[in-house]
Structure 1
Amino acid sequence: MVIPYMPMLVPPVKWTGYDKGGHLYLPSYVMRTHGARQQSEAVKRASQNQLRPVFEALDTLGNTKWRINKRVLSVVDRIWAGGGCLADLVDRDDVSFPEEPDTEDEAVRTKWRWKVKSVKKENRERHSQRCDIELKLAVAHRMKNEEGFFYPHNVDFRGRAYPMHPHLNHLGSDICRGVLEFAAGRPLGESGLRWLKIHLANLFAGGVDKLSLDGRVAFTENHLDDIFDSADKPLEGRRWWLNAEDPFQCLAVCINLSEAIRSSSPETIISHIPVHQDGSCNGLQHYAALGRDKLGAAAVNLVAGEKPADVYSGIAARVLDIMKRDAQRDPAEFPDAVRARVLVNQVDRKLVKQTVMTSVYGVTYIGARDQIKRRLKERGAIGDDSEIFGAACYAAKVTLTALGEMFEAARSIMTWLGECAKIIASENEPVRWTTPLGLPVVQPYHKIGRHFIKTSLQILTLQRETDKVMVKRQRTAFPPNFIHSLDGSHMMMTAVACRRAGLNFAGVHDSYWTHACDVDKLNSILREKFVELYETPILENLLESFQISYPTLSFPRLPERGDFDLRDVLESPYFFN
């Protein structure tokens, strides 16, 4: 397999311009513009001085040295050689086709045809997943004997950073993260041993990551026999590590942790494991900070609590209250009372989680309905498709109402951003802004022009971007894109500060990684940078830039904001955890 953009064996070239940096010889661009002319021109026009903070952050991310965890890779190889179908690895065999029925009954034959169609779809998906795993393993085997390697990074048009190598990188699936580790190791120390135990608990499903930090340490200490068994006999033993939500990452931690605990001096054991600190529904955290929203801030852990607040459970509880109230009503006057009675026993955090997560991306009623419909269908607890559809319609309406109540400030800011975008796009202009780190952003949503070329053999269709903007897309995409540009800025600010403090740093949007012994320092830095970011008048600056760029247009007033004290974030243990 020819994979041109492999990880680098030497540190990437420092970024100094739009196409100057990254790989030594392969074409490298600081931004992925996908042919959006106005966006690439805006970045090229920006001075090197303006883009220096972005360049410095990308250089920091690119200079993190990685290596292959050979023990985890050998377990992946053994499972894959044995046919896959374990620990999120796809089955290497196709699903067999159902036998054709020996009957002329059209209803039976129609049912058989649908089954055949379903099997074909499943086999196509399996083939795609196998190709993906083969690519990842090919890169892992090619790099496994190297002392270390590097991932040059660039950004998407919103300012979020990504490794330029597409297959085996730390943004990837559990397999990728399980076989990658920091090339430089550091002694655990007392705090590192504790954070490694917390990290193991975080990798488990079933609400373990919603316990207090002490509760997570206790969970790990209660499973020491399982951890030793997983490290010593990953496939021959009890296979406890397979119960984790991220099994291969869990296995890597089991191996490192068992070595430390069995040692006479656990604090001196060298660890290469990247320990994650993840934001708590990060998009809503950014909205709560923008709106200085006390209620929203408490729901997403911007303020201290004895244990982490779970926004999904909070919304589920609110949805349940509304449905219980509706279930008491007379169905003759309120037809949804019947659906409320059916759904009362179905409401939990899993039912609403995807809708809450995508609310910051402007999820519509139809999107919410389809998400909830899928969850209800998976459970099979409600009758046929028409009943599920009706129940999903009602549940989506109630969930969006509960979200609007709990995150009123987020809704008002989202609406304000959308209105501003609509006013600009109505003038046939794309929405433009500059991130807090100085990166110019131009939304690339233009109508596509098609040009047909007839030949003697075929008709070719050429597509190109026109000068006409897509008004609706400009409006709906602006709120999530703006928030992404802010979370990208927060990650970059944290990365640079960590490098200056001597920490190894890797980041995946709202998940920040460092050595176990340095997690306390990382936590302190990322909170300080979040407060620093939001102490600047972000919305005021945005409105001013719109008014300067479009002096003839009239924009709505900024939404009202609350009195949440940003500095509370500095004392919140579960803001990132």
Structure 2
Amino acid sequence: MASSAASLLPPIPLWRTPHKRGTSRNPSSSSSSRVVALYSSSSDPSEPSADTKSPVVAFSHLHSPFLLKPLPPSPWESLEMAFLKDPSPLPPPPPPPRPSRRRYDSLRRRQVRAETEAWERAAAEYKELERVMLEKRLAPSLPYVKSLFLGWFEPLRDAIGREQRYQRAKRQKASHAYHVGLLPADKMAVIVMHKMMCLLMVGQEDGCVRLVQAAIYVGEAIEQEVRIQKYLEKTKRSRRRNVQVEENVLSNEQEILRKRMMNLLKMKKLIEVQKLLKNENDMEPWGRDAQAKLGCRLIELLIESAFVQSPVDQLACSLPDIRPAFIHTFKTLPKEDGKTGNKFGVIECDPLVHKGFNSTAKHMVIPYLPMLIPPKKWKGYDKGGHLFLPSYVMRTHGSKEQQDAIRNVPRKQLTKVYEALDILGSTKWRINRRVLDVVESMWSRGGNLAGLIDREDLPIPERPDSDDINEIKQWRWNTRQAKKANSEMHAQRCDIELKLSVARKLKDDEGFYYPHNLDFRGRAYPMHSHLNHLNSDLCRGILEFAEGRPLRRSGLSWLKIHLANLYGGGVGKLSYEGRLKFVENHLHDVFDSASNPVDGERWWINAEDPFQCLAACINLSDALKSSSPHNIISHLPIHQDGSCNGLQHYAALGRDSLEAAAVNLVAGEKPADVYSGIAARVLDIMKKDSQKDPDTHPTALLAKVLIDQVDRKLVKQTVMTSVYGVTYVGARDQIKRRLIEKGQITDDRLLFSASCYAAKVTLNALGEMFQAARGIMKWLGDCAKVVASENEPVRWNTPLGLPVVQPYRKCERHLIRTSLQVLALQRDSDSVAVKQQKTAFPPNFVHSLDGSHMMMTAISCSKAGLQFAGVHDSFWTHACDVDRMNQILREQFVELYNIPILENLHQSFQTSYPTLTFPPLPERGDFDLKEVLHSPYFFN
């Protein structure tokens, strides 16, 4: 610490070191769940102890105490360039000001309308357009797709109305008779039209969608809307019975809202009414059969009611060409060996409908946007999230065992889980309008830049004049590839349009919120699909924190590091000092990108994450051009990402020192790059194989072909997913895609053989480098096989007490007769899928651990006054708070793995299945977990 940089350090306060763990305990398991919890009995994991017996020092390369270590100075502490720390430690920032009561009530009214009236408003709009058209005897000037909707609305509404009346009068009713009458015909018509168009837009098939998928999708949408209306009706009755409101107190506006929304718009009244309704969702689920039968009948009515007319046929000398907008037909699923596969029914749209998809998104009803007010706090399996929309704390996908496990567990056991979800949902977001304007400009110019898909299709090759068989085969292959590429590009265009449509709706709002829930493993996800921070670079680039905070000095440096990380190209593997120098050397490019992003030099476009890079360029440019850069308000989320996080969790479980060093659990002068290490090992193996005799070793030729193509990118996805149970086939397909991107192997057979060989070599190299991780994976799989062989699903509790039940059971097909065709639906049988239970358990278990780490970090960050967002193994906060978050996430990781997780799991299995024999625990190494506290690149 004798460098000149170190002399700039101010006196460093002593920070609290992680407290000592107590002994772990296992709460008694109930007979219903047959599990023993894995969480420890020690004090709150989010609260570090005040025990500070040894002096601590800070990361001098940051000059801010984001991690503390009672160790001698390490080589990485003496960097020439240090960050200046603010003169005194900052207190936790005050919470953002709450909106006024009047403003909150206004937002709340909008939120209630968004959740309960979306389809009703759309139906009213079509009715109004019809009225205008009849009065003026002229079709209103509408976009093409909206004019199609208007033309279909009245016939479909009337057809549904006739069906409802017919089924009511019929003595022997159809299987869908009850459900088809639960909503008004106009609302049902709007739902069917928009849901079908949405499916066709985002589907992978070229202008068609499988009937079984479409029927269930439409049926689910109808069921959800029925649930909302049932809930509102029940609320109205309860309101009349239990709440007396003085009429002269209410304004005219509130009186109207009371009649329509059952007085739930008033602050505190919603909670009061909800206490009266303990069983909000007492309506039994419809089930897949009922959804499919109703959906099929409604789709059939759409087919009979919706037509299109070709403009070119509207000449006086020709009859108008009016044809169905949708048809029901059958396709054959091709097999890999070229033989004919099974037939399946599809709904196919007319080319005229398909033609308008690129401009459809802006006219689609997207009823469930992010929330304008903070979500309801989670208090149970189906209590939390949205105000009215059915919300569930876990996405169980119909697994009754998982639902029962959540419902039956004591609420106190899930306190931390609910708290973490509430914290994630309370983070306020807004649209970065400067980035959105750039996206809109580039998209209007045709895309094909910065990751935006080209808005024009690839030309279809013309048939050659030659009769040469090889040329004809090549033409057919090229034609298939072009059509496949155009179909994929079409789906991506529609996806971008849907994302931009949501951004356009939200761009003028001061902020919005994403309610979160969990998958069955305990990983958190936003409950809104199109535009969220878990999505693509486009989404992340146009989203930012609604609350802004001053950069401060350390925040300015973290902003530069963040920019370097986003630019990619290996820059993120440099030391922090190297990344700072990279940005300093490109300041001209940063300023040009910020001031002239579309028509300038466009340096930002070459980044791996271009739109996020542009957002960082804008923020950094504003700061550096300011007279006081450190006081510039920043809304940008700064990311700290784990280093191959799955392997980090395995290294902590196995306490293996070599694996820990390979994934940055140990301090180093620069980040260790496990992907480059595996690539180097793969290259060594291939070089040796290439020297062998091809006659006796056929892989020698493949090795020679691949030697020049082995790099970090080729193996990265396989290494990343290896700990999540990637199979040989999965690895082969991953590597094949990378080889196609390189474009050096054009022969299909050679490409397939090379992919097979490269996958085997990569998996073998992984096994050699991460033997301890492989041992734990094998142990977990063996334990799962023992349990599943007893026809029991594998169960466990996460360290935060969340019960997990693996849902994998053998599927059995059953046939249901619908109005369009006989559908083959799958449902779970009583037999568990032993192989799937075994292979899925290791990755699912590790996912439950990384989910626990993220939630523990979220809770502690919230207590420290930080804004927090998480994407599994990527944690986000304001630039000025990165140091504090870095300290917290390391402390929580050590806290997590101070729990004897594998021992507790082993004990839970033995307790739940005392007559079964489980394999002994794998051997562990002697790695000291406290090393994580001092590793600057653990998350970076």
Give the TM-score, by structure 1 length.
Answer: 0.97
**What is the CA–CA distance in structure 1 between the aligned matches of 2:669 and 2:780, rounded to whole Å?**
35
* Structural mapping, 1:208-223, within 5 Å: 208-223=571-586
Q: Which residue of 1 aligns with 2:155?
A: none
Residue identity matched to 2:799: P
8 Å Cα contact 2:812-2:827 kept in structure 1? yes
Distance 2:436 2:400 in 1: 42
Spell out, residue by residue over 1:227-282, the C-alpha distance to the aligned partner (whole angstroms, 9 max, x if none): 11111111111001101111111111111101110111100100000000000000
Q: Distance in 2 between matches of 1:455 and 1:409?
A: 54
Q: Retained in 1: the 8 A contact 2:655–2:927?
A: yes
1:402 to partner: Cα distance: 1.6
| Corresponding residue for residue 464 of structure 1 | 827
Q: Residues of 1 paired with 2:592 and 2:384: CA distance?
A: 46
Q: Distance in 1 between matches of 2:821 and 2:620?
A: 62
Q: Counterpart of 1:22?
A: 385
| 2:569–2:607 contact (8 Å) kept in structure 1 | no
Contact 2:644 2:663 in 1 (8 A): yes
Q: Tell me the residue number matched to 1:408.
A: 771
AA partner of residue 771 (structure 2)? E
C-alpha spacing 1:261/1:93, structure 2 compared with 1 (3 Å)? same
Q: Deviation at 1:126?
A: 1.5
1:193 aligns with 2:567: no
What is the DSSP-based 3-state SS (H/G/I as helix, E as strand, rest coil) of the residue aligned with 1:38?
helix
For 1:137-536, list aligned pairs within 5 A.
137-331=500-694, 334-382=697-745, 384-454=747-817, 458-536=821-899
Q: Aligned to 1:345, what secondary structure does the other structure show? A: helix
**Counterpart Cα distance in 1 of 2:632 and 2:367:** 37
Shift of 1:31: 0.3
For 2:617 and 2:801, how far apart are their aligned partners in 1? 42
Q: Which residue, 408, 411, 421 being the options, matches 1:45? A: 408
Give the CA deviation at 1:363. 2.0
- Secondary structure of the 1:465 match is strand
Deviations along 1:194-239, one digit per CA (max 9) or x if unpaired, are: 0000000000121000000011011111111111111111111100
> What 5-or-longer segments of structure 1 have no aligned partner?
none
**Pair 1:117–1:153, CA change in 2 (3 A):** same
Structure 2 Cα separation of the partners of residues 387 and 399 of structure 1: 18
SS of the residue corresponding to residue 875 of structure 2 reads strand
Distance 1:338 1:449, change over 3 A: closer
1:96 counterpart = 2:459:
yes
Give the equivalent residue in structure 1 for 2:57.
none
Q: Do the aligned partners of 2:544 and 2:637 also contact (CA within 8 Å) in 1?
A: yes
Distance in 1 (alpha carbons) for counterparts of 2:547 and 2:740? 47
- Residue 904 of structure 2 corresponds to residue 541 of structure 1: yes
Q: CA deviation at 1:460?
A: 2.9
Higher gyration radius (CA): 2
Shift of the alpha carbon at 1:325? 3.4
Q: Which moved more, 1:313-322 or 1:41-50?
A: 313-322
Could you tell me which of 388, 394, 405 is aligned with 1:31?
Answer: 394
1:251/1:345 CA distance change after superposition, 3 Å: same
1:381: Cα distance to partner? 3.7
The superposition leaves residues 474-496 of structure 1 with CA deviations (integer Å, 9 ceiling, x where unpaired) of 11111100000000000000000
Shift of 1:153: 0.4
Aligned position for 2:476: 113
Cα deviation for residue 84 of structure 1 reads 1.4
Match of 1:560 in 2: 923
The residue type equivalent to 1:98 in the other structure is P
SS at match of 1:27: coil
Give the aligned residue type for 1:238.
Answer: E
Three-state SS of the structure 2 residue aligned to 1:80 is helix
Query: Which secondary structure does the structure 2 equivalent of 1:236 belong to?
Result: coil
1:355: Cα distance to partner?
Answer: 1.4
Q: How many Å separate the matches in 1 of 2:668 and 2:816?
A: 65
Q: Give the drift of 1:105.
A: 4.4
How far off is 1:106 after superposition?
A: 4.4
Distance in 1 separating the partners of 2:425 and 2:718: 34
**Percent of aligned pairs sharing the same letter:** 72
**What is the alpha-carbon distance in structure 2 between the residues aligned to residue 70 and residue 373 of structure 1?**
39
Once residues 748 and 705 of structure 2 are traced to their aligned partners in structure 1, the CA distance between those partners, rounded to angstroms, is: 14
Partner residue in 2 for 1:130: 493
Greater shift, 119-128 or 304-313, is seen at: 119-128
Residue identity matched to 1:549: S
The change in CA–CA distance for 1:384 and 1:91 in structure 2 (over 3 A counts) is closer
Q: How far is 1:461 from its partner?
A: 2.5
Contact 2:567 2:604 survives alignment (8 Å):
no
The separation in 1 between residues aligned to 2:524 and 2:765, in whole angstroms, is 33
Q: Distance in 2 between matches of 1:456 and 1:493?
A: 51
TM-score for the superposition, normalised by structure 2? 0.60
Q: 1:279 to 1:405 in 2, by over 3 A?
A: same
What's the C-alpha RMSD, in Å, of the aligned pairs?
1.6
The answer for the alignment partner of 1:82 in structure 2 is: 445
- The answer to whether the Cα contact below 8 Å between 1:5 and 1:164 also exists between their aligned partners in 2 is no
Given residue 566 of structure 2, which amino acid in structure 1 is its aligned partner? L
What whole-Å deviation, never above 9, does each CA across 1:133-173 have from its counterpart, x for those lacking one? Answer: 11111111111111111111000000000000111110011
What SS is found at the alignment partner of 2:518?
strand
| Aligned-pair CA distance for 1:368 | 2.3
CA distance in 1, matches of 2:371, 2:599: 36
CA distance in 1, matches of 2:573, 2:418: 36
Superposed CA offset, 1:509-555 (max 9, x none) = 00000000000000000000000000000001111111111111110
Determine if contact 1:505/1:512 at 8 Å carries over to the other structure. yes
Q: Match for residue 431 of structure 2? A: 68
Gap runs ≥5 in structure 2: 1-363
Q: C-alpha distance in 2, partners of 1:463/1:15?
A: 32
Q: 1:175 to 1:391 in 2, by over 3 A?
A: closer
